[in-house]
């Protein structure tokens, strides 16, 4: 018997049938179904009769179903943490990079899942180390770690060292380190390159740099990156994926590869080239 946890946002009325469809199929397969306490609190009327509520996703779970978009997937990853429990992303809205199963394809996808027709992809995570207690000690990110100016304040100056060797000083609105997974997100919007998910690299991408000859730089994911920041108002933001905290100038910042990975369940027939081609509109002749 499989033990599966469900996590997600508040389920909209037009998506309730999809949640019912998922639960019915899991029951049919004899799955031990659990719901995260946060998911249950967001859907008290829908899940009020459910008894299996958990405050943590431990290593004894076989997998997690993330019901929502890519943001929900990242939230599910925080529940999994170092346990490396595989996550299946079911998108309740539009197709995403991480939550790649469309709600209209749930029936077919779950059929393939229970037939074992899927792969588990390992994705690199970033680890943030500082001399401060940040992010409730969940100091890892699947997409990127970003250092950003606060509000509309002046640009910040970021000195970057790679393996204790001075690399560059960036005058910019910010600077980020992105994983191959994150290369399709914020980094891409700032001019960063697209990277295949299994690439063994990170990319350092400046955000609105003052020096126009500064470009994104790809580095090995074995690199240790250290940053020193100066700002006029003595504070700035550090973000890990969708989370952010305000920091003072005297913080020590080190970013490197995390000692654990994220595990993504990819259903047969669903792959990265197809997703990126559809999301970015590649291969379509729009001249007419």
Q: Which residue has the tokens 């499989």?
A: 2
From the candidates 70, 173, 201, 241, which is the catalytic residue?
70
Name which of 52, 75, 50, 67 is nearest 106 in CA terms.
67
Tell me 119's DSSP state: E
Q: From start to end of 46-92, where are the E strands?
A: 53-54, 63-67, 87-91
Q: Which long-range contacts (CB under 8 A, 24 or more apart) does 131-135 make?
A: 131/251, 131/252, 132/247, 132/251, 134/238, 134/245, 134/247, 135/240, 135/243, 135/245
Torsion angles phi and psi, residue 34, rounded to 5: -125, 155
In the residue annotation, 70 being an active-site residue is answered as yes
CA distance 230 to 258: 26
Q: From start to end of the chain, where are the E strands?
A: 3-8, 32-36, 53-54, 63-67, 87-91, 101-102, 118-123, 126-130, 140-141, 144-148, 156-162, 165-178, 201-209, 217-220, 225-230, 235-240, 243-248, 253-257, 262-267
Q: Which residues are catalytic?
A: 70
């Amino acid at each position: 018997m499989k033990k599966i946890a469900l996590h997600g946002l508040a389920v909209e009325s037009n998506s309730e049938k999809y949640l019912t469809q998922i639960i019915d199929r899991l029951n049919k397969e004899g799955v031990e179904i659990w719901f995260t306490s946060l998911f249950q609190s967001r859907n008290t009327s829908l899940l009020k009769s459910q008894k299996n509520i958990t405050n943590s996703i431990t290593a004894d779970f076989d997998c997690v179903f993330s019901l929502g978009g890519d943001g929900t997937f990242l939230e599910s990853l925080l529940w999994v943490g170092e346990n490396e429990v595989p996550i299946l992303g079911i998108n309740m809205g539009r197709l995403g990079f991480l939550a790649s199963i469309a709600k209209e394809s749930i029936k077919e996808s779950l059929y393939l899942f229970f037939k074992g027709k899927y792969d588990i992809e390992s994705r690199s995570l970033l680890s943030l180390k500082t001399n401060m207690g940040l992010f409730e000690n969940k100091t890892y990110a699947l997409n990127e770690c970003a250092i950003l100016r606060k509000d509309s304040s002046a640009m910040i100056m970021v000195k970057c060292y790679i393996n204790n060797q001075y690399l560059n000083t960036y005058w910019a609105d910010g600077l980020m380190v992105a994983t191959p997974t994150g290369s399709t997100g914020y980094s891409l919007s700032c001019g960063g390159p697209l990277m295949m998910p299994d690439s063994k690299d990170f990319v350092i991408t400046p955000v609105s740099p003052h020096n126009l000859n500064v470009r994104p730089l790809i580095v090995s994911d074995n690199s240790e990156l250290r940053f020193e920041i100066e700002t006029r108002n003595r504070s700035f933001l550090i973000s890990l994926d969708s989370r952010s905290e305000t920091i003072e100038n005297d913080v020590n910042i080190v970013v490197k590869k995390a000692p654990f990975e994220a595990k993504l369940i990819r259903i047969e027939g669903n792959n990265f080239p197809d997703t990126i081609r559809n999301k970015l509109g590649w291969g379509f002749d729009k001249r007419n």
